[in-house]
Amino acid sequence: MIPMVNLKAQYVEIKDEVERGLAETIENCAFILGPNVQAFEKEAASYLGVKHAIGVASGTDALHLALIAEGIGAGDEVITSAFTFIATAEAIKYVGAIPVFVDIDPRTFNISPEAIESAITSKTKAIMPVHLFGQPADMTEILQLCEQYQLKLIEDACQSFGASINGKQTGAIGHAGGYSFFPSKNLGAFGDGGLVVTNSDETAAKIKQLRNHGSNVRYYHDVIGYNSRLDEMQAVILRAKLKRIDQYNQGRRHVAHLYSELMADLPLITPYEDGLGVHVYHQYTLLSDRRDAIMQALQDHQIGCAVYYPVPLHQQNVFKEECADISLPVTEHVSTTCFSLPICPFLSDEDIHKIVDIIRGVLKP
């Protein structure tokens, strides 16, 4: 069996450090916003090049709380991609705002700046680009739009920890950015976790208050908040992995580049790197009109594969009625032809060759 991501191999590498840290946490009985959360926030802020990093309970919460802190609310329009996980749009709906779905670039699968500009109205208050699959969105163009139309920029960097563009980390470019530490992410916990980053003292103060029941001082509550704190034990794990994140991301890039080299002659579309930034390959996603046959052959050999995402957000049942008049041809085409191969730093070259040989057997029998 070759899984999509080999978390067990990663655990073996950090096992001693993690188990020692967990044992110390249990011994010290400091479980909520303890020393490891505080240390991780400082270490993450330093790595990402931001003033503030605030740990929360999930990537979804990171986006949700960032929107609240930046003043996005009922009736506001937030332009985003329909080709992403539903959490992006859920966060927008949670604050009473309206997600405005626009089309994607056919090569990068990231939100199209041209499509964004066409969708801006007097109700638009923010843009939420997604750095999908670890590829930075075109932030130069998106930043210009935000400045021109005086819009908030909240980055969904849930899949792109460690990716950069023009020397800046994704998530650290706009007014605020949100990250997910779901176990399979490039920087993953052993459960849920998330992070909000910002260079604004005011935004950071609001996030810290919101994540802790609207309280700055224990038992004194100034606003209705949430119970959304990064767990102390997850922070232990994240601190161990953060030290190795560049190594892990370079491992993913090696796997991706070898895949692309070996499949260069095959009739399918491999991932495109636009040269604007550093792609960290949360997923290795490619396109083929023979997707189903390829995936069946991989599954027959016990090789993991998946479709991210088979139904774009504007066609999901929960949005179907309000998006009835929306047509996003690029998004719709990609969703019917995309599939993802195993990718993680511990995938061997031998396994990569095996996977490509199976695909070659389907496309060039």
Per-residue DSSP letters for 56-71? ES-HHHHHHHHHHHTT
pLDDT of residue 68 exceeding 90: yes
The pLDDT value given to residue 275: 82
pLDDT for 86 beyond 90: yes
Reported as a pLDDT band with limits 50, 70 and 90, residue 325 is very high
Residue 193 tokens read as 């976790």
Residues 172 and 303 placed together within one structural domain of the fold: no
| Domain annotation covers residue 13 | yes
Q: What CATH number does residue 293 fall under?
A: 3.90.1150.10
Short-list 155, 184, 194, CA closest to 58? 194
Same domain, 170 and 143: yes
Task: From 193, 213, 242, give the residue that closes a domain.
Answer: 242
Same domain, 137 and 228: yes
Pairwise CA distance, residues 274 & 72, whole Å: 31
Domain shared by 115 and 164, yes or no: yes
3-state secondary structure of 99: strand
Q: CATH number for the domain including 210?
A: 3.40.640.10
- Which pLDDT tens digit goes with each residue over 240-297? 999 999 999 999 999 999 999 999 999 999 999 988 899 999 999 999 999 999 999 9
Does 301 share its domain with 252?
yes
> One-letter amino acid identity for 319?
F
Exposure of 104 by Cβ count < 10 A (0-12 exposed, 13-18 middle, 19+ buried)?
Answer: buried
What would the two tokens of residue 267 be? 């009739």
> 95-154: per-residue pLDDT in tens?
999 999 999 999 999 999 999 999 999 999 999 999 999 999 999 999 999 999 999 999
Q: What stretches of the chain show up as alpha helix (H) in DSSP?
A: 7-28, 35-48, 59-69, 87-94, 113-119, 139-149, 201-211, 232-242, 245-262, 291-300, 317-320, 329-337, 349-363
Query: Among 214, 242, 270, which residue terminates a domain?
Result: 242
Give the residue-averaged pLDDT of 305-325. 96
CA distance 162 to 316: 30
Range of the domain at 249: 245-363
DSSP 219-247: TEESS---B---BHHHHHHHHHHHTTHHH
For residues 327 and 275, membership in a common domain is answered with yes
pLDDT of residue 276: 81
Task: Check whether residue 197 and residue 262 sit in a common domain.
Answer: no
- What is the number of domains present in the chain? 2
Predicted TM-score (pTM) above 0.85: yes
* Torsional class of 213: left (φ above 0), alpha (ψ -120 to 50), beta (otherwise): left
pLDDT digits (tens, 9 = 90+) for 5-24: 999 999 999 999 999 999 99
Q: 138: which DSSP letter?
A: -
Asked if residue 2 belongs to a domain, the reply is no
Alpha carbon distance 50, 161 (integer Å): 13
Q: Please name the residues in contact with 44: beta carbons below 8 A apart, sequence gap of 6 or more.
A: 53, 195, 197, 238, 242
Average pLDDT, the chain: 97
Question: Coil, strand, or helix at residue 324?
Answer: coil
In a domain, 1, yes or no: no
- pLDDT on residue 5: 95
Single out the residue of 122, 86, 80 nearest to residue 102, CA to CA.
Answer: 80
Q: What is the mean pLDDT of residues 12-39?
A: 96
151 in a domain, yes or no?
yes
- If asked whether residues 223 and 303 sit together in one domain, one would say no
pLDDT of residue 365: 78
Q: Mark whether 16 and 162 lie in a shared domain.
A: yes
Q: Please check whether residues 25 and 153 belong to one and the same domain.
A: yes
pLDDT at residue 315 tops 90: yes
Domain end position, chosen among 242, 273, 293: 242
Q: Is residue 224 domain-shared with residue 318, that is, in the same domain? A: no
Residue-wise pLDDT for 163-207, tens only, equals 999 999 999 999 999 999 999 999 999 999 999 999 999 999 999
Residues 6+ apart with CB under 8 A from 62: 56, 158, 178, 179, 180, 194, 195, 196
Phi, psi at 237, each rounded to 5°: -65, -45
Q: Are residues 333 and 322 in the same domain?
A: yes
**Count of all residues that appear for the chain in the document:** 365
Place of tokens 């980055």: 155
